[in-house]
Amino acid sequence: MLSITDLSAGYGEVSVLHGVTLSVPAGRVIALVGANGAGKSTLLRTISGQIRATSGTIEYRGQVINDLKPDKIVAAGLVQVPEGRRLFPSMTVLENLLVGASAPAAKLECAASLEKVFAMFPKLRERRGQTAGTLSGGEQQMVAIGRALMAKPELLLIDEISLGLAPVVVTEIFDKIADLASSGLTIVVVEQNTALALEAASYAYVLEHGEIALHGVASDLAQDDRVRKAYLGI
């Protein structure tokens, strides 16, 4: 579904990603792990068109999308749940969700998508008239996922979903991610919580200083000495 070859990107003079190659098969959950500042969010931002690759290719369903604008990438079904949720705090839950259905095709199916989101997160139905800024962290994260689902994604990029949330809420949200995966959605999870990411994914990539340092079947990586020492604290 997604194939990235020799990708480099950064911010102005600052080069962050150096020759990243990875692939995401349809219907799988792939984890991208690594320390603070390794370049995980930069990789997601490059895939979703927020920053431009300086070299290399990003192919989504066989089409090179390096030069596509972010709105076209979303309309094609590649949707990101950004780090820090990025909700509109003074808008209601419902209004925030509707922002996700901005592309014409998503707008057409807006009512059905909303029903699915509310079925997945019943709390959001209850709170649909409440301003997003007054929700708990976990509820805000549900809105951020819901907003992405409103865009009718085929590939979901989820950035640091566990950040700042209580463990019980993290478990609840990862259960929902597992449900989405079993419904056939392809998902890339970026996580500093390596144990959680390796449990949720079938295959994983470890990013170090903007390069893929290791990759493999997630359960194998969880047993790998380098991963255990550097990322699992074992």
Structure tokens at 42: 């930069």
* Angle subtended at Cα 225 by Cα 219 and Cα 226, rounded to the nearest 5 degrees: 100
When the beta carbons of 40 and 147 are compared against ligand ATP, the nearer one is 40
Binder among 13, 36, 129, 168 for ligand ATP (CB under 6 A): 36
Q: Does 54 bind ligand ATP (CB under 6 A)?
A: no
Q: Does 40 bind ligand ATP (CB under 6 A)?
A: yes
- Write each residue from 105 to 144 as x if it is in contact with ligand ATP (CB under 6 A), else as -, in one continuous string: ----------------------------------------
Q: Does 42 bind ligand ATP (CB under 6 A)?
A: yes
Site for ligand ATP in 140-169 (CB under 6 A): 160
Smallest separation (angstroms) from ligand ATP to the CB of 129: 33
Smallest separation (angstroms) from ligand ATP to the CB of 210: 7
Q: Does 18 bind ligand ATP (CB under 6 A)?
A: no
Binding part of the chain for ligand ATP, among 38-46, 70-78, 104-112, 114-122 by CB under 6 A, reads 38-46
Q: 203-208 and 211-217 as β-strands: parallel, antiparallel, unpaired?
A: antiparallel
Q: Does 222 bind ligand ATP (CB under 6 A)?
A: no
The beta strand positions in 103-218, using DSSP E, are: 155-159, 186-191, 203-208, 211-217
The beta strand positions in the chain, using DSSP E, are: 2-11, 14-24, 29-33, 53-60, 63-64, 78-81, 155-159, 186-191, 203-208, 211-217
Q: 203-208 and 186-191 as β-strands: parallel, antiparallel, unpaired?
A: unpaired
For residue 189, the cross-strand partners are 31, 158
Smallest separation (angstroms) from ligand ATP to the CB of 39: 4
Q: Distance (Å, rounded) from C-alpha 101 to C-alpha 143?
A: 13
Answer for the pair 20, 190: CB distance below 8 angstroms, yes or no. no
List of residues contacting ligand ATP (CB under 6 A) = 11, 14, 16, 34, 36-42, 160, 192
